Structure 1
Amino acid sequence: MSMKILKTALIAAMATASVLAQTATAMSAELNILTWEGYATEGFISKFEAASGCKVTAAYVGSNDDFAAKLAAGGGVYDIITPSLDTVPMMRLAGFVAPIDTAKVEGSADIYPEFSQNGDVVAEGSTWAVPLIWGSVSLIYRPDKFASKPDSIAVLFDPANKGKISMWDDKSALYWTARYLGYDNVFDLTDEQLEAVKAKLIEQKPLIRKYWASAGELTELMANQEVFVSNAWTGLTSKDVNNLKKGFEVVEFTPKEKAEGWMDSMMLVKDTPNEECAYKFMSFMQSPDGQCGIAESTGYFPVNPKAVAGCMDEQMKKDRQVDNVEFVKSLVMWQQPKRLDKYLEVWNAVKAAP
């Protein structure tokens, strides 16, 4: 699907979404969130509900591509979405979201400016997203299944690991493969480079046990010993697998070609009938209960160092990169590809290949 067609479909779907929002029997004490696993767990959501009087209902995505698809389909009414930074521009351009009044978001001034002032977060003179959490995507493996510690993305393409490899079912597979092939311009690949990436991924397919759609699915694949190596959300899958105590451990590592970096933000869905609860939630997620709660639930890194000053010990602050935004510079931070439609075309072609 071309970017023009995609945008046209998304914008046209807004008419349906707007009607649904206006006709839905939404109460002022409701909040419907479209988000990721671990971002709406009972541990901290119950505190928000008790403090705000807003009842949270969460639906989950497995990929950033799901946000556009679910909103365009009009299958539900959402008040807040939490896409990654590379998807924020699309949500704005498609007209799915409204500008945010940061004066209504308590604690927003304490967010790392590297995130809060990002060119996709603040655009066209308005703020479109409130940073929520950030982290990296590294590699995870079973040390007991390898003679030596791997140090490269090459481990995902090694025939010796046939049938025990997994990768995230997402266009970011192109980024990983591009780095493996030595390309630095992973978000602006030429046609020739994209063809090489596609060919390598199709060549890899017989080695793949399964493309995982969610962190929970990867945890199951690792725990059930179906796969031994994959890319994974740093901190989350290793924690979940090792907590199951299956008689083995999994370990993360940063490949020599670098790990990826991401930042997820809260965006306000246009014409939400639950704006008051939405702003209360955005404020709560910048509080100690919100930032420490989601960091504990996911293993990811807080965006608000002031909020976690008293609810994290020094070791946890070190582990979660608190006051170490320089770490971002060591990562390949996600960006929306210059030719998003072409990237999606290539990834879909890879998945359709035998």
Structure 2
Amino acid sequence: MWSKRLGVAAAALSLVTLSACGDDGGKGTVTAEQGFKVPNIPALSSLGAGEGQVNIVNWAGYAENGSTDKAVDWVTPFEKESGCKVNSKVAGTSDEMVTLMKTGEYDAVSASGDASLRLIASGDVAPVNTALIPNYADVFAGLKNQLWNSVKGVPYGVPHGRGANLLMWRTDKVTPAPDSWGAVFDPASPYKGKVTAYDSPIYIADAALYLSATKPELGIKNPYALDQKQFDAAVALLKQQNTIVGEYWSDYTKEVQSFKSGDSVIGTTWQVIANLAKADKTQVEVTLPKEGATGWSDTWMVAAKAKHPNCAYKWMDWIISPKANAQVAEWFGEAPSNSKSCAETADKDHCTTFHASDEDYFSKVRYWTTPIAQCLDGRTDVKCVDYSEWTRAWTAIKG
């Protein structure tokens, strides 16, 4: 069910894709803050009768119908209530999601921040009329109209959930308890060879975030908006870190095992991994370090040429409804997006564990966003390094 995170940032993004694919020759386009042109695609103006089905692209664990576990099913109730049969296609990476949405065969997608901007720029998704989605009103304010799910205040989807990339350590091996990412970047670390890091180009943002606090002279304001000098500094830090990293992880089960065996004693993680490790009797703790952290938030988006738009809207409203959103959040291991979902979770401590309503906590989280040449921090006098370069650099970092 966590395969989503394994490849979420694996796809390279070219500058050309974002700067040109949304261009229709200058007719009916607007220039977004993100630095690309957005096709003038109207949002659905009114909701009609369901078309009988909806075809969705989603991460594993987001559209459970009881086939994985009979006790886990929020799709069947939706089908009975709406009359819309859900045809779900699980994607393993954001790149695969983008490719599938371009076929025109799907009505909606649960896009992560490294895919949503591509879908908007290419005209594959339409703005969302939130007035037609009653449950949107109860979505946490901190998830609405963000850089990865809106353009100039116009929403392009509904938030699904969120989580932070945390620092985890073995309490019986690491002392004192760390409170900074410096614990995994110190070249003189006493835990050399037992440090672990997330295996993805997007991890460059973690280094940039740390540098924004420890080397303010670099002027890093957004870890996904790095000019060449800032990018080079982050890459240099990661190459230095490589000398103390024992392994890079992308499979959550392997990280759980690595901490249990003692092969890893400190490194980046997710809250759900810490929970699983503790359940397996491993002595670990996690923290959101003083520099803050990177994180992720997914968005349900509707296809620009959806064949079943009414069912797509019904699905988006359903998946962020209190009960369904609570079920997804617990099954997947994340904070729900609906503020009323916390009263619906089976584990009454779920929202506390995942900081669902703690906006002060999430104010320290910088959500994954696709790096593009147009600097996302608002600078216009320099060019930022796009994700294709991040991907190439990551190969060099790991050696």
Using structure 1 for the length normalisation, give the TM-score.
0.78
Partner in structure 2 of residue 133 of structure 1: 161
CA contact (8 A) 1:198 1:347 kept: no
Checking the alignment, whether the CA contact within 8 Å between 1:202 and 1:350 is kept in structure 2 is: no
In the alignment, structure 1 residue 29 sits paired with structure 2 residue 53: yes
Equivalent residue of 1:267, what SS? strand
CA contact (8 A) 1:116 1:131 kept: yes
Q: CA RMSD in A?
A: 3.4
Amino acid paired to 1:61: G
Aligned match for 1:6, one of 1, 17, 28: 17
1:173 partner amino acid: Y
1:232 pairs with 2:269: yes
Q: Does the CA contact (< 8 Å) of 2:209 and 2:293 recur in 1?
A: no
Distance 2:276 2:235 in 1: 32
Alignment check: 8 A CA contact 1:268 1:278 kept: yes
AA aligned opposite 2:169: Y
Match of 2:42 in 1: none
Q: What's the CA shift for 1:207?
A: 3.2
Q: Which residue of 1 aligns with 2:47?
A: none
Work out whether 1:47 is the aligned partner of 2:85: no
Residue correspondence of structure 1 range 66-85 to structure 2 within 5 A? 67-68=97-98, 77-85=105-113
TM-superposed CA distance for 1:193, in Å, is 2.0
Q: CA deviation at 1:142?
A: 1.8
**Alpha-carbon distance in structure 2 between the residues aligned to 1:70 and 1:341:** 26
Does the C-alpha gap of structure 1 residues 78 and 144 become closer, same or farther in structure 2, counting only changes over 3 Å? farther
Selected match of 2:277 from 220, 229, 241: 241
Alpha-carbon displacement from aligned partner over 1:230-284 (angstroms, at most 9, x marks no partner): 2122x211122333x2x42332112222122432211123334343443232122
Partner SS for 2:386: helix
Who is 1:193 aligned against? 230
- Separation in structure 2 between the aligned mates of residue 284 and residue 220 of structure 1, nearest angstrom: 36
2:196 is aligned, of 155, 166, 182, to 166
| Alignment check: 8 A CA contact 2:259 2:282 kept | no
Structure 1 residue aligned with 2:314, among 259, 266, 280? 280
1: CA distance, partners of 2:293 / 2:154: 31
Find the aligned partners of 1:221 and 1:275 in 2 and give their Cα distance: 45
Higher-helix-fraction structure = 1
Residues 79 and 163 from structure 1, CA distance in 2 versus in 1: closer, same or farther, beyond 3 angstroms?
farther
Match of 2:395 in 1: 351
Q: Distance in 2 between matches of 1:341 and 1:3?
A: 10
Report if aligned partners of 2:226, 2:385 keep a CA contact under 8 Å in 1: no
Which structure 2 residue ranges, 5 or more long, are not aligned?
1-11, 24-50, 376-382
Q: 1:72-111 to 2 correspondence within 5 Å?
A: 77-85=105-113, 87-111=115-139
In the TM superposition, residue 126 of structure 1 has moved relative to its aligned partner by 4.2
Contact 1:134 1:301 in 2 (8 A): yes
CA distance in structure 1 between the aligned counterparts of 2:86 and 2:13, rounded to whole angstroms = 39
Secondary structure at the aligned position of 1:239 is classed as: helix
The range that moved more, 189-198 or 163-172, is 163-172
SS of 2:164 mapped into structure 1: strand
Q: TM-score, normalised by structure 2?
A: 0.70
- Tell me the percent identity: 23
Q: Distance in 1 between matches of 2:267 and 2:105?
A: 34
Change (3 A) 1:58 1:128: same
Change (3 A) 1:104 1:292: same
Aligned 1:49-68 pairs, distance under 5 A: 49-52=76-79, 54-61=85-92, 64=94, 67-68=97-98
- Say if 1:147 and 1:326 are closer, same or farther in 2 by CA, change over 3 A: closer
